[in-house]
Amino acid sequence: MSVPGARRSLPRRDLILLPLIAAVTALVFLVGAEGAARMVWPEQKVDQCVKEDGPMRPRSNCSSRDKAAEGPWVEMKFNACGYRGTGPCLPPPRGASRLAVLGSSTSWGYLIPFEDVWSVRTAKAMSAQCGGPIDVQSLGGFNNIDQAAARLPEALALKPQMVAWVVAPFDLLKMPEGGFDPVRALQPPPPSPPYHPGLMDRAKSLMTESRAATIAQHYIYGNAQAYAATYLHYGDRADFLRAPLSKDWQARLAVVDAAVAYLTDGLKPSGAKLLLVYAPQQAQADLIAAGTAPKGVDPEILDRALADIAARHGALFVDGGRAFKGVKNAPDYFYRADGHLNGAGQGLLAQAAVQTLLATPQNGLCAGAAR
């Protein structure tokens, strides 16, 4: 018989079972959501053609299928030299020009069909201007600044009329210690110490690999205004958007300056021109497209600094950031969760490159067609 007004307490067994049931229910929900996300948005970012031992370079005459969760399946094909190319890496045929491309993942067209990559679109658009075909050989993919510059002899061996070097903000975050030194890139890296991830590292890894989290980020980052405002709180990572540039970003530009000087000097004996191509980050593109920015924020300050470096060394400059002026929905040009330009974004970069080349009749790209 119960006593009126008395407080009823749960049995001790229920104090254990109820939280356990709640936890199991939540776990089942999360596992189910993750499983469904992986079925709806499949992903394959690890390219089976890329060597895991030694320098990260694709195997010769290899093909694979890759996919960003946010994009289409992509057939990756590599020629005998291990390059993504519109043809073999043999000397270009008579009457054809050649564009060799250096850089990291954006230059290579990471997770993008090769026909949609900026370099191939640019070559196709410029071929009529040149009066002959333009072959593209892309040597990039997994290179930091030292490694990209160290591949200049490879690029020169291809007999190009132009060499493009593509730079994005995330390429500049990790600078080589001791400044620019392409010779260092040819030396084997020191052995890495054993890595023992802690609990927080494991949690971060789970979140990074979660497909459900990728889907959530894709839609959340689609709000350009909110994403740009959030990104500006990322400290040094976002300081390339602030005026004046911080000391760290000025130091990064000094490394870029040294690299451009090295590349232009190395190209002079061949007569080939250097094309410095800037690919913007999404928050930057959001701000440029909006046409407004918070106080102290200058979304084009890095672009202008790179343009000055190119001009100082006689290189041509493609401003991919400016290509977003007047764009209605900048996030649609990116794999938002991944951070890379998607096919549409690569198309904008190609438009900017074509405008630069057409504005510079003596750009040198058509020299092969004149042979």
pLDDT at 265: 97
122 lies in which domain range? 63-186+201-370
State how far the Cα of 174 lies from the Cα of 305, in Å rounded to an integer.
18
> Which residues does 251 contact at the CB level (< 8 Å), separation at least 6?
175
What is the full per-residue pLDDT of the chain (371 aa) written as tens digits? Answer: 555 555 566 566 655 666 666 666 666 666 666 788 788 888 998 888 987 655 678 899 999 999 999 999 999 999 999 999 999 999 888 888 999 999 999 998 989 999 999 999 999 999 988 889 999 999 987 778 999 999 999 999 999 999 999 999 999 998 877 889 988 877 766 666 665 556 555 555 555 678 888 888 999 999 999 999 999 999 999 999 999 999 999 999 999 999 999 999 999 999 999 999 999 999 999 999 999 999 999 999 999 999 999 999 999 999 999 999 999 999 999 999 999 999 999 999 999 999 999 999 888 898 776 65
Residue 255 lies in a domain: yes
**Cα–Cα dist 285/303, whole Å:** 12
The first and second tokens of residue 168, run together, are: 């994005």
d(CA 22, CA 359): 65
| Residue 40: inside a domain | no
- CATH number reported for the structural domain that contains residue 180 in this entry: 3.40.50.1110
Bridge-based pairing of strands 134-138 and 97-103 is: parallel
Domain count, the chain: 1
pLDDT for the residue 319: 98
| Residue 25 covered by a domain | no
7 within a domain of the structure (yes/no): no
pTM metric for this prediction:
0.88
Instruction: Note the pLDDT of residue 34.
Output: 76
- The verdict on residue 21 lying in a domain is no
34, part of any domain? no
Classify residue 27: in a domain, yes or no: no
Does residue 93 belong to any structural domain of this protein? Answer: yes
